[in-house]
Structure 1
């Protein structure tokens, strides 16, 4: 048994104590974020607001994420990634608590801004932290393990958030109280982060130049293409993902408990799929893995748009979510490899572009649902996913093939 444990530690690079503390904190943070995915829109609707306003809150959260990504990268280089992660936990906890304690539109938007700031910090800091605390040999394994653990955490958050509201006297109090509990959980995650040993050198910029040399990044053909690819995928995802619980609630009449179960099953499947990612990458390569998984997810989007049975939609949702999200650790590792010494700037810029496009499209998604139907945004997303995936293959496959060819 001890031999097996040592083998697992070596395989994933878990000898590093900072990684274990990071995983503990991230589990708590991701569980809190999972609760937001289930409860926030439902809470806004329970307060008497429309789908349009729910889309506005989601858009404010995502716009903030996009805008904060670049300064988050700058702060990482000056404070260290561990401190920035702790600041993100504080922002997340305070944001969720703000939302849970108010029915004011202004304060709901303020809470969304804090939550969006926390999401930006997480998006920028986590890949940098994993790169700093891993070797090239264990990096893909560690990215995949982190992805799987975060999916399990998200599953725990979504599952409990679907059932906890019933312990309050009414739906509004239950949703607010459950959000408050997760806000406290996010604040608790600061404790393990406080014990992470600071890493120096990896994200610092001793030359005194600006961290984000945008000219260098934008002159690199591969990095420009990554930015375009992520922006298009982000726009497509923003049309449907933030509003899926509204889709389930209003179109299919699903309860918060049913939505929580469906999202939890999707997270379990995604987590298990994430553990298989290194095997798939080893057989197909990074680029082909991304392309195959993305294309395989598109038929399930079409099923979600057309099915009227909650169980059929739930099955299609968790298959689509699993296939699409399995590409995340592969793309993160690929981005870090292509960015090289510009990985801090690229991580910030990539997260910024991805979330800003989501912020724009979530407004469009909410408007389309109100104006036309709940299914129409899914067709737009299918088209964007298909076009972007073909571009991704055309752009990156030749370079990766040449890179993998043995030198003569």
Structure 2
């Protein structure tokens, strides 16, 4: 496998126009003022002794986002609102189902339907992003997500909850699937790694705010009515309203519609024919570790709020604070992921951070000490999510550009199918045997996935972010 290098230096691109469209030129002889500022900031993120300065790293990301155009910023605003609503909803939905009297196995079935819906929608969404404007897809997805959240927060019949959960998964997955195609198509090459990390960081920041706000909402609504079921339901409705607001910045992204119209839209037959030209061996190598990680995560991650409620008796407010701190640790890991990749390479960085998270999962399974469990919870989250933008960027770099949408959707498809299966199994295991066995089984799956990822890609030449794409400070 060969890396596709550009002969141009990192700053050899012209910035996009005020409408946020494509860069006007990428010729090597001229150097953009914005490109030079990014290059200089990359060198300025280190202190004289080689240490990375956190403030300058964050400042570098801010400058990269500002250089990406108005539409990129609108996209991040909408992504934040969507993530805020999703975070509130995901924090409280399990607790709401428990108040309805749904068993752990039943909760697992409902959560698995959300993931199954996401899996079913993954490939169709990829084709939609090639044939329909990003604005139209994102606005529609925002409205439909809010509607399905309203249904999930109002219905009580199990059959209707399962159906609403399935539809919810289909529309919610659109937002995460939008990151890779939007960044790869609309952002100049030197800024892509920053925008990948910025998009994931925006989601994490939304999750921090959403976890804290979601934990406080039931307490605030209890001043009106102290019935736990009603306070949780009203909180879910509030999450629905916040998610609907995400459609506003998405609707204002008119520049991307114009940019999309400049390209000829491939016919359906051309897109089907492209599937026969895909390197499916490489795609399977990328998908298999993601599948195993999805299997492990689905066994326990959807139930961690119930884990803290059942084992330690935490209230919704306390769980919200804990989740907010956890999301903060994920943001830190996400921001410094590129520095790790520069020191270790993308492949070794992904493998090492995943393996380092395994002992903390074992502590979650076996320890009864609340401080130890909290520390393990935070470190596991930070390590596992440090590599998320790196794995996405690595996958986008090792496959041809025409396969980006297929790769992105295939990775999401395998993840969500695995999560759907294991969430159902995890709920049944927890109901019958508690949380220990699912946690240990998830740790084992993480180990196997990490070994396979290293075995598949350790020989990729210079398995790191190419210097032609961006200069990232040494760790």
TM-score norm. by structure 2 comes to 0.80
Write the distance in 2 (CA, Å) between the matches of 1:60 and 1:254: 27
CA deviation map 1:248-301 (0-9, x unaligned): 212222211111111110101111221112211121111111011101111110
Residue in structure 2 matched with residue 361 of structure 1 by the alignment: 422
Residue 69 of structure 1, aligned match among 99, 111, 122: 122
Stretch deviating more after TM superposition (355-364 or 245-254) = 245-254
Write the distance in 1 (CA, Å) between the matches of 2:458 and 2:265: 32
CA deviation map 1:290-349 (0-9, x unaligned): 011101111110011112233332221111011101111001111111222111111112
1:81 matches 2:138: no
Residue in structure 1 matched with residue 371 of structure 2 by the alignment: 311
Residue 102 of structure 2, aligned match among 49, 56, 66: 49
Residue 108 of structure 1, aligned match among 153, 161, 165: 161
The 8 Å contact of residues 92 and 232 in structure 2, kept in 1 or not, is answered as: yes
Residue 322 of structure 2, aligned match among 223, 243, 262: 262
User: Deviation of residue 224 (structure 1)?
Assistant: 1.5
1:210 matches 2:279: no
Residue in structure 2 matched with residue 31 of structure 1 by the alignment: 84
Residue in structure 1 matched with residue 354 of structure 2 by the alignment: 294
Residue in structure 2 matched with residue 272 of structure 1 by the alignment: 332
Write the distance in 2 (CA, Å) between the matches of 1:274 and 1:8: 12
Residue in structure 1 matched with residue 25 of structure 2 by the alignment: none
User: Deviation of residue 202 (structure 1)?
Assistant: 7.3
Residue 189 of structure 1, aligned match among 218, 241, 246: 246
Residue in structure 2 matched with residue 383 of structure 1 by the alignment: 444
Residue in structure 1 matched with residue 185 of structure 2 by the alignment: 132
Stretch deviating more after TM superposition (114-123 or 37-46) = 114-123
What SS class does the counterpart of residue 147 from structure 2 fall into?
Answer: helix
User: Deviation of residue 399 (structure 1)?
Assistant: 1.6
CA deviation map 1:154-193 (0-9, x unaligned): 1111111111101232211111001100101111110110
What SS class does the counterpart of residue 190 from structure 2 fall into?
Answer: coil
Gapped regions of structure 1 (runs ≥ 5) = none
Write the distance in 1 (CA, Å) between the matches of 2:264 and 2:102: 43
Write the distance in 2 (CA, Å) between the matches of 1:86 and 1:35: 20
Residue in structure 2 matched with residue 235 of structure 1 by the alignment: 295
Gapped regions of structure 2 (runs ≥ 5) = 1-36, 42-57, 468-475
TM-score norm. by structure 1 comes to 0.93
Stretch deviating more after TM superposition (219-228 or 314-323) = 219-228
CA deviation map 1:22-68 (0-9, x unaligned): 11110010011111221111100101111111001100100000011
User: Deviation of residue 110 (structure 1)?
Assistant: 2.9
**When the two structures are aligned, how many residues end up with a matched partner?**
403
Cα pair distance change 1:330/1:403, threshold 3 Å: closer
Stretch deviating more after TM superposition (7-16 or 150-159) = 7-16
CA deviation map 1:347-374 (0-9, x unaligned): 1122111101100001111111122221
1:329 matches 2:389: yes
User: Deviation of residue 79 (structure 1)?
Assistant: 1.1
Residue in structure 2 matched with residue 146 of structure 1 by the alignment: 199
User: Deviation of residue 102 (structure 1)?
Assistant: 2.1
CA deviation map 1:71-115 (0-9, x unaligned): 111111111222212222112111111111222223322331232
What SS class does the counterpart of residue 398 from structure 1 fall into?
Answer: coil
Which portions of structure 1, spanning 4 or more consecutive aligned residues, are displaced by more than 4 angstroms?
Answer: 3-10, 201-204, 402-406
What SS class does the counterpart of residue 391 from structure 2 fall into?
Answer: helix
Cα pair distance change 1:292/1:202, threshold 3 Å: farther
Write the distance in 2 (CA, Å) between the matches of 1:211 and 1:241: 36
Computed over aligned residues only, the root mean square deviation of the Cα atoms, in angstroms, reads 2.3
Write the distance in 1 (CA, Å) between the matches of 2:92 and 2:60: 40
User: Deviation of residue 211 (structure 1)?
Assistant: 5.4
Mapping of residues 389-400 of structure 1, within 5 Å: 389-400=450-461
Write the distance in 2 (CA, Å) between the matches of 1:315 and 1:193: 38
Residue in structure 2 matched with residue 177 of structure 1 by the alignment: 234
The 8 Å contact of residues 27 and 153 in structure 1, kept in 2 or not, is answered as: yes
Cα pair distance change 1:202/1:139, threshold 3 Å: farther
1:94 matches 2:147: yes
The 8 Å contact of residues 92 and 214 in structure 2, kept in 1 or not, is answered as: yes
What SS class does the counterpart of residue 102 from structure 1 fall into?
Answer: coil
Cα pair distance change 1:17/1:374, threshold 3 Å: same
Residue 344 of structure 2, aligned match among 284, 290, 298: 284
